[in-house]
Amino acid sequence: MTDASTGRRRLAATLEAAGALDAQWRDAILAVPRHLFLPDVYWATTTEYVKVDRTSTPDGWMGYAYQDVPIVTQWDDGACTGEQVPTSSASMPTMVATMLRHLEVQPGGTVLEIGTGTGYNAGLLAHRLGGTNVVTVEVDPDVADQARKALAEADLHPQVITGDGAHGWPGDAPYDRVLATCSVIDIPQAWIAQTRPGGIIVTPVGTLFGGGALAKLTVGPDGTASGPFVGSSAFMLLRQQRYQAPPVDDYLPGEWPGDAGASLTSLDPEAIGDDWLAQFVIGLQLPDVYYRRTPNGDGWTWWLFDTGVTSWATVDSTPGDAEFDVRQSGPRRLWDEIETAYQWWTGAGRPGFERFGLTVDQDGGRPWLDRPGNPVRAR
């Protein structure tokens, strides 16, 4: 397929069939050419990363541009061109349409976007609201420059700022809406301060432990923001919130298992690793705990750490086993805490993303289940 207009029509039909496309955004999807915002070489994300080169496979390049798949456009903050850590992308179109629908923009409304990326999302906003009503902030100068060029080629003119998205953009505040196309662990206070009372913030939220969900928060007159999660999400973290874990030797200065106590568990950690929602719920309850996995025979060893560098644990997962070896060291028993958090969730009937929510004030975020008065806590 080399016909971009046909591609846009097919994409709109796909998004409508998925229930993601609000009728008010259909014209923007049909008008804004997604392929203009993609580099000549990119990686389409299907069940694996598929490298696509416009020169050698022009039909494939155009075809993926209008498929409902995310596309990686940068690796390792631009330090390499291979499949390492993806650091910039064109989001999956169903997620783009879903986020725009939840933003609930109104004619003449102003939007601050955090994370310009390719510029496609800013282009959709500018088509709907007009370029003067859209400000988009991108931390990477090269990515920002490429987005400016693509937007100009598409004859769309939002204001593109090269800067730290964690600080928003106070120069044009307050905004009616704030939209983040990167995930955050903590909602920056600047985003709330730069949103009008009654305004909406739509942002992916992740946890240090894993998992992620899309939050839709309404800003109150008292400077708080509160609202539900509206579904699953998986986005790259805001660069300023990437966690740099200490070396393992800071936890275990010697040979494993050190002074760790031994026990058994019937909960296979791989059951958590295979469940995006379970990771998210555990992360909400234990925001200072993270894990790593290392191969161990036919299975895996899970390494658990706290950010205070006080405690660690390991759990060995071997396929087919009914019980799994646990080692725990430090004042906290991290696996016990994780198991308790998991059991709380399963005991509550495994509530989904949409039953959880978040309230943010000057003291940070407080997740809740069903209503703000029912805070999520590790039992």
State the catalytic residues: 91
Cis before 257? omega within 30: yes
What is the rounded CA–CA span in Å between residue 59 and residue 184? 36
CA 256 to the chain's CA centroid: 34
The beta strands (E) that lie in the chain are given as: 41-45, 49-53, 71-75, 86-90, 111-114, 134-138, 159-162, 175-180, 195-206, 212-219, 225-232, 261-265, 289-296, 299-306, 312-317, 324-329, 356-361, 364-369
In contact, 313 and 259? CB cutoff 8 Å = no
In contact, 342 and 282? CB cutoff 8 Å = yes
What is the rounded CA–CA span in Å between residue 268 and residue 277? 16
In contact, 307 and 287? CB cutoff 8 Å = no
In contact, 372 and 359? CB cutoff 8 Å = yes
